[in-house]
Amino acid sequence: MKILVTGGAGFIGSNVVDAYIEAGHQVVVVDDLSTGRLSNLNPKAKFYRLDIRDPKLRDVFVEERPEVVNHHAAQIDVRRSVVDPEFDADVNVLGSIKLARFAIEFGVSKIIYISSGGAIYGEPVYLPCDEDHPVHPICPYGASKYTFELYLQLFKETDGLDYTILRYGNVYGPRQDPLGEAGVVAIFSGQMLDDKPVTINGTGEQVRDFVYVGDCARANVAALLKGSGRAYNLGVGVGTDINEIFSELKSITDYKPEAIYGPAKPGETSRIYLTADRAKEELGWEPTYSLTEGLKHTVDYFRQSET
């Protein structure tokens, strides 16, 4: 089938594009390259450099007539969402609505939407969080990601647009950008390989569910034909704190200095990890990479590509 992937030059989106092409699908990528990279693009994918808010996005639907839309493009910086919630909502809510309206107009059968299992639940009432956990975001980013979930439910009822929602944990792996706003695995890996000081925000006791990008890509393939009208957590079901990530990477990279501790980031959840039982039962998906194995793959990538 023909699949339009927004954000398909980004870290996670490009891995999903690769998985779709490997599975034999035709892929069209829309990405404004604000955080994505041309070097991430699969040469077999057709590329349009475009912001999802640009009215010219309609021309892509006219030209390509995708059967499925995979929506990875987003404003993903929690700190920016706190400082500039209007921009966050403009991209993540209004931009996504425009995309869905084009999908409806041009007869797309399904949207696979990437939401956040790390931000929409807020500070958990219980752990691990399942998909029925109360939604109580503590940052604008979490609020905006969940808001479009509600719009998808509405569009399914009013316009027949099918959807599957994937709520990612903390995704890490090859192609994650170690510069600027990025996940701690990419940041720490880049700094350690360059023998630079590593700063941990807060105490380092913040707990996250670290899931390998290759596992997430497989879930996106499964969601093409399964998961109608449902939301799925993607995580490993085990919490890992930032100090442990530092320690693991320190060992893998043979990094000698100790971490420096700085102020905590505003709007961050202190402890979150997910259960992916629903994804296992309904999508046939479960994570296959251990944390150590995934971190080694990630460090190997940065050794080869970023140094």
The CA distances from residue 231 to 99, 155, 207, in Å, are: 19, 15, 23
Q: Return the ∠ at Cα 36 (arms to 84 and 79), rounded to 5°.
A: 25
Number of neighbouring beta carbons within 10 Å of residue 198: 19
Q: Rounded to a whole number, what is the distance in angstroms from the first to the last CA of the chain?
A: 37
Element (H, E) at 208: strand 207-208
Is residue 212 annotated as a catalytic residue, yes or no?
no
Number of neighbouring beta carbons within 10 Å of residue 217: 22
Secondary structure of residue 159 in the 3-state scheme: helix
Within 177-276, residue ranges assigned H as helices are 184-193, 213-222, 242-253
- Phi first, then psi: give them for residue 101, nearest 5 degrees: -65, -40
What are the tokens at 247?
């320690």
Say which of 141, 172, 212, 232 is annotated catalytic.
141
Q: Nearest CA to 163 among 247, 69, 85, 99?
A: 69
Burial of 160 (0-12, 13-18, 19+ CB in 10 A): exposed
The CA distances from residue 180 to 35, 78, 252, in Å, are: 10, 13, 23
Element (H, E) at 114: strand 110-116
What are the tokens at 70?
């995979």
- Give the separation between CA 293 and CA 295, rounded to whole angstroms: 6
Which positions are annotated as active-site residues? 141
